[in-house]
Structure 1
Amino acid sequence: MTTNEPRTQNDSGTADNYIRVPVSGGTLVYEPRSIGKELVGFAEIEDRDDLADALRARGLGHGALRNLPVMDA
């Protein structure tokens, strides 16, 4: 899978496990891990600059916008 393909399921094969966090500019999509959660993509992107600000506010680099997939909502 390339980063340009929409991701609809996680590695365990179910889409139900995603945690969606609405933020200014779109939605951050996380996957639960045994300890914490991992950012795996984005959904409903409306403004990439606002989304980058939301990532920086959480201590994440804005480069994730270029490297992680846009997922189905």
Structure 2
Amino acid sequence: MVLLGSSDPLLPAATDWLGLASLLVIVIPALLGLLISYWVIRTAVKHGILAADKARGRTLGTRSDWDHGRP
């Protein structure tokens, strides 16, 4: 039985894959999840702003921020 920390020359080669495996299993899915969450939130905010502008009757061609129809 080979214990960690022994002077076996095969031990470092056998454990080199742990760093890559942890990168693939933990880091990459977390980053993908963050990117997907960012995209979903960004899209929802964009559509919310467009829906609010449409409800107020604004169009893309108006330059004034003042809404004259509001009290």
Normalised TM-score (structure 1):
0.21
Considering fraction of residues, name the structure with more strand: 1
Considering fraction of residues, name the structure with more helix: 2
Normalised TM-score (structure 2):
0.22
